[in-house]
Amino acid sequence: MPPTPRKSNAGRNWPACTTSRSIEYAWTYEPLPPEGGSLPRPMVARHRAADIGHDMKERFFKGSALEVTRTGPVATVTFMREQQRNALNAALLHELDDSIRLLRAAPDITVVILTGGERYFSAGADRKDPALFGEHDPQQRRLGLIARSDIARSWGELPQVTIAAIEGYAVGGALTIALSCDFRVMAEDAFIYVPEIDIGMPYGWSTLPRLAALAGPSVARRLVMLAERIPAPQVLEWKLADYLTAPGLSLARASELASQLAAKPALVLYMLKRSINALQNALSSLASHGEADQAVLCHLALSGDRHTAAQ
């Protein structure tokens, strides 16, 4: 079967997209030329005119742990580490960072949905990944923590409206990314959980200011100090979720919401998002500027390296 031809990307900063569709979309090629001749070229794209447009699903970006597809003005970012419960390893975080840059360069995308699939959103940072938790040098550990905070901040600063579709659970750093979205749709049997205090770490990734701004200091204290698993109805009451759905339907509900948003003027959505975020995050940098240093000191103290911690 011939390869899918690349579409024109003139003036764009992202790789050419391949197309994945449930309807027929086939290209006809000339026969192969004699050895040494030029490659066959596409002659005719066979499709129905009515099929072109919002029903066309394109692969926008694909990595080893994450995939981005788009249907018209709506893109969907999907974590693809199901066997590891979508734990955030270094590869997934790098690819999330790459996808942020690509989405920033796509002004024709208005809404972005973030999902972990049908079973769970994400189990949080992958503690088995030595690239994240194997750094023994305090400065390297500090720089890694800052880089992860930057990814969460960059996700929150995307020009598109963002929607998290949460099944199962959103834990630790994964909850941070979900809270960086503009809307959160959550399955009724899902929960959120911040276990950092029980492993001797403060909750980082610049989450505390955002959490307190969304739900207030009392909720923030309960969530990060008690390390309780908070069920979806309580999450909704705390205003950390916007909509609840039946289990397995968070992505469908997020897609409905995305369609509603995509029908609005994109420039106005962008201006409204910037204004709301500027108000919500006004003190974020001030409140979280030292959290990477705090995390490193906690790690050194708990590991017994008190001499280095005191330096």
157 SS3 class: coil
Average pLDDT, the chain: 78
User: What is the tens place of the pLDDT at every residue in 277-310?
Assistant: 988 776 665 555 555 445 444 555 566 543 443 3
Q: What separation in angstroms does the CA of 311 have from each of 201, 202, 289, 301, 307?
A: 19, 20, 19, 12, 7
Stretch 137-145: mean pLDDT, rounded?
A: 67
Higher confidence at residue 138 or residue 60?
60
User: What is the tens place of the pLDDT at every residue in 212-235?
Assistant: 889 999 999 999 999 999 999 999
Q: Which of 71-75, 120-124, 194-198, 301-305 has the lowest mean pLDDT?
A: 301-305
Higher confidence at residue 51 or residue 200?
200
User: What is the tens place of the pLDDT at every residue in 83-115?
Assistant: 999 999 999 999 999 999 999 999 999 999 999
Q: Which CATH architecture has domain 57-254+279-310?
A: Alpha-Beta Complex (3.90)
